[in-house]
Amino acid sequence: MKKNFFIIIFLICAFTQKSFGYSSDPKQFITEIVNEVKKILVDANTKEFKSIKLSEIALKTVDIKGVAYYSLGNYKKLLKDGQLEEYLTLFEKYFLKSFTSRLTDYSDPKINVLSTEVVNEKYTIVKSVLLATDKRPEVKIEWRVYTKNPDKPLIRDLIIEGLSLARTQKEEFASVIETNNGDINKLFITLKEFTAK
């Protein structure tokens, strides 16, 4: 009886591990995410449910903290005590809302993951294409995958037709701060306003 109990616990753990785990191979990692996102976009009935499920994927597969630091750039040095934690919390909310909002408009995206290019031991670029529809042409999408921990790759940037979303975000943040005479609190207010929309 005791042996059966251990087997059941082991099986539950194995299943749980599998359902939350992703491949350590960057190409396979992206393929799994693409398939998972596609399934949610096709199966989920409401936009709210899609947003919740997509947020869960983003929290597991995107290096949100890394992207948050990158987006702030050198302005990170201006943060006072406690502001970094506040910024990270705000950024996560902002990122998830922005990320899910961009995706929920797609009903059945067809993405083919094509190849990989190892930049260095910390980064691999995974190349893919979003196939053309009647409304728009084919779109090249490159995923910057952070591989410092080879067992747990994480996405740090999406490069669409050569245009980096992370860099665009970083320059947008810098613009908000600069146009308000270097006041970083204005960025915090803007992020709060965005997430409250």
Give the total of residues touching another protein (CB under 8 A): 46
Contact between 123 and another protein by CB under 8 A: the answer reads yes
- Distance, in Å, from the CA atom of 89 to the CA atom of 83, rounded to the nearest integer, reads 10
- Distance, in Å, from the CA atom of 179 to the CA atom of 186, rounded to the nearest integer, reads 10
Contact between 81 and another protein by CB under 8 A: the answer reads no
Options 38, 93, 152, 170; binder of another protein; rule CB under 8 A: 170
> Residue 49 in 3-state DSSP?
helix
- Distance, in Å, from the CA atom of 101 to the CA atom of 95, rounded to the nearest integer, reads 10
> Residue 88 in 3-state DSSP?
helix
- Distance, in Å, from the CA atom of 91 to the CA atom of 29, rounded to the nearest integer, reads 24
Options 81, 121, 134, 151; binder of another protein; rule CB under 8 A: 134
Contact between 181 and another protein by CB under 8 A: the answer reads no
Residue 23 CB, nearest distance to another protein (Å)? Answer: 22
Contact between 191 and another protein by CB under 8 A: the answer reads yes
69: exposed, middle or buried (Cβ count in 10 Å: 0-12, 13-18, 19+): middle
| 12 vs 132 by CB, closer to another protein | 132
Tokens of 125: 């670029």
Contact between 130 and another protein by CB under 8 A: the answer reads no
Options 52, 79, 88, 125; binder of another protein; rule CB under 8 A: 125
- Distance, in Å, from the CA atom of 160 to the CA atom of 166, rounded to the nearest integer, reads 11
Contact between 101 and another protein by CB under 8 A: the answer reads yes
Residues lying near another protein in the complex (CB under 8 A) are found at 66, 69-70, 73, 76, 94, 98, 101-102, 105, 117, 119-120, 122-123, 125, 127, 134-137, 140, 142, 144, 148, 156-157, 159, 161-164, 167-168, 170-176, 178-179, 190-191, 194
